[in-house]
Chain A
């Protein structure tokens, strides 16, 4: 087992830690993944022949959930600052806050999806808006859920002494993932919600007959 003696040293010939490089490379690929989902949603915008579209988005509720996710990002860096300074109490408190805020965000998303399905009959099979919007925000919600599980596991590991000031990089890497989830939502909130829903009610009345005429059924 002599060859395993250097396994704890993750520095490479680049001088950078390979775990952190891997996380940034993963985030770079995930950017393209979400770019595809957001781009597809935008391209198919206003091309529905039937069913609800952006006029059903609730901006006040989503602004609150956006605020909650932003504050979870703040809590994440405060948790990281805590463990880097050896303050395990601060680290555990703020990590728990991140998990709670993330769960609240998921709760908002479940409320929104339920509201769409029950009151507006919107499912991924209803129309193009339903397909692209629910897949995009659903994948984002899945990322948030994975982040919550990851951070809970780190929190529990810290009580067992497996996470401490000496290996705070593990918290930093989980934090990078969490902030990434936050910046994806910043884009979705701005581009899909605010720009998408602006004037959507008036537009919905005009667009459906126009789209129907375009395909020769109106």
Chain B
């Protein structure tokens, strides 16, 4: 890749300031997860809260740090197609053999 081409891609990416903000959000979500773990709540509710918080962190890293939000959509396809296959298989297997909230 030429320097010129690299610069064109770089202009689409966020700057250090945005990266630090995303990093702070990730740290706060992790702190919330830690706090939620010590609450005495229904295990099913706890499961859904953690899944929601973990998904938020996952999407923030993939979208901003890995630049999928800004890069060509075909990179997203290369990653999320197998990801969806994996999630589908995992959900079916868990529905058959396992209760996550037990």
Contacts from A to B (Cβ < 8 Å): 9-11, 14-17, 20-21, 24-25, 27-29, 31-32, 35-36, 38-39, 42-43, 45-46, 59-60, 63, 66-67, 70-71, 73-74, 76-78, 81, 84-85, 165-169, 175-176, 179-180, 182-183, 186-187, 189-191, 194-195, 197-199, 203
Q: Which residue of B lies closest to A40 (CB)?
A: B93
Contact of A28 among B19, B26, B57, B82 (CB under 8 A): B82
Contact (A190, B54) CB under 8 Å given A16-B75, A31-B79, A35-B87 = yes
Nearest chain A CB to B8 CB, angstrom units: 11
Beyond the given pairs A84-B10, A179-B66, A198-B43, 7 more chain A to chain B contacts, judged by CB atoms under 8 angstroms and listed by A's residue number, are A14-B74, A25-B78, A31-B83, A43-B93, A71-B23, A165-B3, A168-B10
What is the CA–CA distance of A159 and B7 in the complex, to the nearest angstrom? 22
Residues from chain A with Cβ under 8 Å of B93 in the complex: 39, 43
Residues from chain B with Cβ under 8 Å of A199 in the complex: 43
What is the CA–CA distance of A85 and B14 in the complex, to the nearest angstrom? 12
Contact of A74 among B7, B13, B23, B82 (CB under 8 A): B23
Residues from chain A with Cβ under 8 Å of B5 in the complex: 11
Q: Which residue of A lies closest to B22 (CB)?
A: A74
Residues from chain B with Cβ under 8 Å of A11 in the complex: 1, 5
- Contact between chains at B16 and A81 (CB < 8 Å): yes
Could you tell me the dominant secondary structure of chain B's interface residues? helix
Residues from chain A with Cβ under 8 Å of B97 in the complex: 43
Nearest chain B CB to A171 CB, angstrom units: 10
- Contact between chains at A28 and B78 (CB < 8 Å): yes
Nearest chain A CB to B59 CB, angstrom units: 9
Nearest chain B CB to A195 CB, angstrom units: 5
- Contact between chains at A28 and B83 (CB < 8 Å): yes
- Contact between chains at B98 and A190 (CB < 8 Å): no
- Contact between chains at A16 and B72 (CB < 8 Å): yes
Contact of A77 among B19, B46, B54, B75 (CB under 8 A): B19
